[in-house]
A and B are shown apart, each in its own frame.
Chain A
Amino acid sequence: MRVNVTVNGEQRQADDVWEGESLLFMLRERLGLPGSKNACEQGECGSCTVYLDNVPVCACLVAAGQAQDRSVRTVEGLASGDELDPVQEAFVEAGAVQCGFCTPGLVVAAHDLLDRVPSPSDPEIREALAGNLCRCTGYEKILDAVRLAASRR
């Protein structure tokens, strides 16, 4: 099937999409946007978090066809040219990035949190990021990064 979808502000078209494909597979393998990650593909790890019509979702749990005529924003769509989003900048500065495989999903989840709650408390940050697994950092520096980003927005 053919899927028409707006991705990061651009109108995109994917052809020969198999009906069983996820939005994640379409983004990664058909639209050249592998930033959203494939760590579990069952909605447990959050590494594929993208905005679908401004709501964060696990792209692995959304069928590609469900994105028809909708708007998707991925981690690749957060920076403005060379200028990183404050959340991205804070993740690098705070040492919240080690292997980085969880990072795209966490960056989107933190971006969404700070849009909703500009100055979140620690329990609010923890709750908002509870669906995103990280195996490298123990989360301390991720919390630092979100606090830092909040202080700058």
Chain B
Amino acid sequence: MTLTPAELTSAVSGGIGTSPQRPDGNLKVRGEFAYASDLWHEDMIWGATLRSPHPYARITSVDITEALKVPGVYAVLTHSDVPGRNLYGLEHKDQPVLAVDVVRYQGEPIALVGADHPETALRAMKKIVVTYDVLEPVVDMETAVDDTPLHPGGNLVRHVPIRRGAQDVTADVVVTGRYEVGMQDQAFLGPESGLAVPAVDGSVDLYIATQWLHVDRDQIAAALGLPQEQVRLTLSGVGGAFGGREDLSMQVHACLLALHTGKPVKMVYNREESFYGHVHRHPAVLYYEHGADHTGKLVYVRTRMYLDGGAYASSTPAVVANAATLGVGPYEVDNVTVDAYGVYTNNPPCGAMRGFGAVQAGFAYESQMDKLAEALGMSPVDVRVRNAMTEGSVMPTGQVVDSAAPVAQLLKLVQDKPLPAGTSSDIRELPGGVSNTTHGEGVVRGVGYAVGIKNICFSEGYDDYSTARVRVSMVNGSLAASVHTAACEVGQGLVTIMQQIVRTELGIQRVTVLPMDTTIGNGGSTSASRQTYVTGGAVKAACAVVRSRLDGRTDIGSEVIDETVEWRHRATEPLDPETGQGNAHVQYGFAAHRAVVDVDVELGLVRVVSLDCAQDVGRALNPQAVVGQIQGGSAQGLGLAVMEEIQTSGGKVRNPSFTDYLIPTVLDMPPMSIDVLELADPHAPYGIRGVGEPPTISSTPAIVAAIRAATGLALTRVPVRPEHLTGT
């Protein structure tokens, strides 16, 4: 029997456009899904990391003698035990696996202990004697470039200038501002962890929670001095990522201990160590000047922004490029001047977090748009719609936006949603909640709007691709398929999407997603909202080859059809280093929010009453997962607006715990009504547009705008703290 492709597709359920259950869902609700921290191996030992207590110091000596004497200790390792290159990094190889003679941030790894119990390792660590010559840390991002150089090339990681149009124009109405964004943490719930298992031939297997298996593998192999094929990575269960797992944490450390002791080594950070163990969102200081005519049309935008990369480069160069190229927001502006600086300091290293540079700029440019609206006597929505970008608009980089850009439509969608009822009389729905701090007295309400723009996929000429292998054979008399990639499932639901794509493309109901590992080619990073686009594209392309070999057959006997495809999105270009011009991005995503808040102005407490969002996703391959991404991204934006900040003092972290670093609870989150637009992008597989990041960008400024509307305060810094509202 043979079927046409259309007949094949209609014969299955759970294809694209539907919301089938996650293949890992049952395991997860039963507590049987194996996260990295759940792994166990016969005869395994525990690894632990000694970290610097100082943000900046010269190491004058390290004595491990007494630590080695602790019963139950198998190894104590320092930089001299790193057999390969002791430097790693996503863009610049500037970060030591283990510190040599200097530490540049509080929490920098210095030594490793392998022991029979986590407590043994902890006790041994306390017996390692490190002497320091403590140095004055560099902590101010605005002056860092002229301060003590922390790296051989100085403290400037990257400067991205953009010069578009006239640089000396004037305007009828001018508003200026200085904005600050605090250091946000990804706060994924599953701590950094992994299990390294040594093999008799000197190679190693690492079971790991990460966002990018191949780049981890390459960095680990270089540090271990091993050929890449002797370092095998398998993705274990990942408890969230949000950018915080793009950089290495314990990967090399666990492998070093395993190869040194010949024993399987498990490493699991606790929450405090997790705060020191991964990069954070760059804190930023942003200066803006917007000029407009009397009708509200933007004449120019000029901005100078500083992003604090902390002690090591991580992905700072790309974050700076995003902040710069997306720095005027989703608006048409003919005359643009941008200078974005990413710098080294002795603050905690910063790198990728959901929104990646677009979040910092987004808070500033949207605050400016509100200020402009006020100066013009226009409504916040009107001034945005007046300047809203559309398909065909030109970015400050000169790039033409060549697919849907429904900025005005998104704003109108959230504006037209019904407003929530007036301030509640139930204390559970008032600022302060059951703390019983108000029964409505001193509570004022405000409404705020924001819209944002995010690039999707990797930019600036990066060769961004993914590899997918699709295999079809007969199982119990029916066709069955398996799909294998190295693209990391971190919770977003890529495993479901891949099944859906195979079902739709091949008309095969039974699709198995194989474990993600490095035995197949690179899947690229689970970041930049790119996996459905790029790995989805690769799976779709592999299916096309398989489909042609199937040729409509529903019985292939003992034949096995097995095809592997590498798939790329369209190429991008580097930015011109002088003018910032170039077709640097693949695709743009847009979301708009309306926030309604109640503020207790006497205590400075905020309750977000509603947080509605409209987003264009091109095409919703899995509508339930799309809405889940938008709600989750909006929640992280709420966190940045009103509570989340890693507070530092002299380079030291003051709040490395969930007691002191607060993320939104179910009591902090309001109902979120989501409108999903599906305006297909003709360049993308199925027309999809990356979903994960855009809602994180507009959520924060919408909430702050609502607080401003309620209180009349300027509020130029996020997170907004109670003292910003009470003036105390």
Contacts and interface: CB of A to CB of B under 8 A. Distances in A.
Q: Do A and B come from one complex?
A: yes
A39 B189 contact: yes
B624 to A, nearest CB: 4
B328 to A, nearest CB: 28
Contacts of B628: 95, 98, 136-138, 141
B200 interface: no
Given A84-B29, A127-B428, A98 B491 contact: yes
A143 to B, nearest CB: 7
Given A29-B40, A44-B657, A88-B30, A102 B189 contact: yes
B161 to A, nearest CB: 36
Interface in A67-95: 74-76, 78-79, 84, 88-89, 91-93, 95
Contacts of A32: 40
A93 B21 contact: yes
Given A34-B31, A99-B238, A101-B35, A140 B667 contact: no
A42 B657 contact: yes
B40 A76 contact: no
Interface in B587-631: 624-625, 627-628, 631
Given A41-B271, A103-B28, A127-B428, A140 B189 contact: no
Contact of B189 (A37, A76, A89): A37
Given A76-B30, A88-B30, A45 B672 contact: no
Contact of B239 (A84, A99, A131, A140): A99
A38 B36 CA distance: 11
Given A18-B117, A138-B632, A133 B658 contact: yes
A123 B671 CA distance: 12
Contacts of B659: 42, 44
A140 B271 contact: no
Nearest to B270: A41
Interface string B469-495: 000000000000000000000111100
B490 to A, nearest CB: 6
Nearest to B38: A34
B666 A76 contact: no
Give chain B's interface secondary structure class: loop
B28 to A, nearest CB: 3
A150 interface: no
Interface in B663-705: 663-667, 669, 671-672
A97 B663 contact: no
Contact of A37 (B186, B239, B664): B239
Given A95-B624, A95-B628, A127-B434, A136 B491 contact: yes
A135 B666 CA distance: 10
Interface residues of A, number: 58
Nearest to A93: B21
A12 to B, nearest CB: 16
Given A28-B38, A84-B29, A101-B190, A138 B669 contact: yes
A135 B428 contact: no
A76 B31 contact: yes
Nearest to A35: B31
A39 B239 contact: yes
A52 interface: no
A35 B30 contact: yes
Nearest to A91: B29
Interface string B3-30: 0000000000000000101101110111
A92 B632 contact: no
A142 interface: yes
Centre residue among B33, B271, B666 by max chain A CB count within 10 A: B666
B524 interface: no
A29 B241 CA distance: 24
Centre residue among A29, A38, A126 by max chain B CB count within 10 A: A38
Nearest to A74: B31
A148 to B, nearest CB: 13
Contacts of A9: none
A98 to B, nearest CB: 4
Given A103-B28, A133-B658, 5 more contacts: A39-B191, A93-B21, A99-B190, A131-B665, A135-B188
Interface of B: 19, 21-22, 24-26, 28-35, 37-38, 40, 117, 119, 186-191, 237-242, 268, 270-271, 426, 428-429, 434, 490-493, 624-625, 627-628, 631-636, 657-659, 663-667, 669, 671-672
18 contacts: A18-B117, A20-B119, A34-B35, A36-B31, A37-B35, A39-B190, A75-B31, A95-B625, A95-B627, A97-B22, A98-B628, A101-B240, A104-B31, A123-B426, A134-B666, A135-B240, A135-B632, A138-B632
Q: What are the nearest 8 A-B pairs in CB distance?
A: A35-B31, A99-B491, A101-B239, A100-B28, A138-B635, A138-B631, A34-B38, A75-B31
